[in-house]
Amino acid sequence: MKIALVSPYDFAYPGGVVNHISCLEKHFTRMGHEVKIIAPASKAVSTLGDRLIAVGKPRPVPASGSIARITLSPWLSSRIKAILDRENFDICHLHEPLMPMLCTTTLRLSKVPNVGTFHASGGKPWYSFGTPIGKWLLQKWVRKLDGKIAVSQPALEYVNKYFPGEYTIIPNGVDTKHFSPDIPPIESFLDGKLNILFIGRLEKRKGLDYLLEAYRQVKPEIPNSRLIVVGPGIRLRRKYEKQVAREGLEDVVFVGYASYHDLPRYYKTADIVCCPATGWESFGIVLLEAMAVAKPIVASDIQGYNSVVTHGAEGLLVPPKNAERLAQALVSLMRDSSLRQEMGSKGRLKALEYDWERIAQRVMNYYLSVLNGPRRKEGAQRTEAILV
């Protein structure tokens, strides 16, 4: 089968949707399928070679408390039409299919079966502010989707408010061989201190403000502790570093961006992984990665997280934006090594259920159901009748 995986986001910049598509490509290719990724890219992605078809120049655009790096060029039609005609795909899988302009243009021009995966949750999507004509056009394009996937129940509820229909939940996955308890830790942090790990982009909605406040309460209780902050972001990092210096908070380390290759080593180094996001999370990929490395979790009790972690099993869930409760949960786990180990073991078992081999096979089965479904058969019958 020849598959197009379409991303609206800059494929040279790390992110959940980009990683999701990369993992699908890798596993579909291993299955023997021919896969092309169509996406904007601010620079070459050498690991993909000609499997990435770069279209459009990505620009940063504020979206749902984050920054989306998308192409807004209205002049993509001829380029995309030429790609679709040349490649002759069997199926086109668009991620965030209503995100302008690459996905909406591809969906409009595609003549093969189309599948859309909806990842987002929280806030108001850009299309909720559109004109009646714009919404009518979007409804028309939504009808071009032969299959609709949501990565979680929150993601399903989010899109279903605006475009009611039939959605199938297929979650994000995790590479349980890459994120494994057997990988080596970062040796420089192996000095006997208990390590709390935060991994994520330095954006307000990721809740690092609350974790820093919680850690200020944790440090007197557990003097032999350290907070390691891993993730890209410049403006807020400077603000957080100034806050740490101003409060005289010791043992807070800002690592910055860590490559996909190094991420498992940071998880392995952690005693606890803390995810204090304030909301708008459709799924907890960071939680899955931590669980795959057999690490206990302290996380906000929000949609998208509480569907992955069960409170008291793989970790502890606390109310969002509550530094005091966050500190209490961290201290209780830091004082109980056996509970940390028990939660980590349960997390590893649960993560295996989300292994990318399983998830990719579920997506492939969904493709086959779309290709063989009544809607495609009706279209084939109509075409046959016209030819006769």
What is the crossing angle of helices 285-292 and 337-352, to 10°? 110
Strand, coil or helix: 191 = coil
> Measuring CA to CA, which residue among 281, 331, 339 is closest to residue 314?
339
pTM equals 0.92
Per-residue pLDDT, averaged over 57-68, amounts to 85
- pLDDT recorded at residue 129: 66
Higher pLDDT, 41 or 125: 41
All domains in the chain, ordered by first residue: 2-173+356-387 (3.40.50.2000), 187-352 (3.40.50.2000)
Q: Say whether pLDDT at 347 is over 90.
A: yes
In the chain, the percentage of residues whose pLDDT exceeds 90 is 86
What is the layout of strands, in order, in the sheet containing 2-6?
52-54, 34-39, 2-6, 91-95, 114-118, 147-150, 168-169
Lowest mean pLDDT among 67-71, 85-89, 251-255: 67-71
pLDDT at 379 over 80: no
Mean pLDDT over the full length of the chain: 93
Residues 6+ apart with CB under 8 A from 335: 222
Gyration radius of the chain's alpha carbons? 22
Q: Which residue has the higher pLDDT, 85 or 13?
A: 85
> What CA–CA distance (Å, rounded) separates 388 from 378?
15
Amino acid 387: pLDDT: 32
Which CA distances in Å does 39 have to 20, 23, 57, 150, 345?
13, 15, 10, 20, 38
Element (H, E) at 23: helix 16-30
In this prediction, residue 106 carries a pLDDT of 98
Residue 8: predicted pLDDT: 97
Overall average pLDDT of the 319-330 stretch: 98
**Model confidence over 132-184: pLDDT tens digits?**
666 777 888 899 999 999 999 999 999 999 999 999 999 999 999 999 999 99
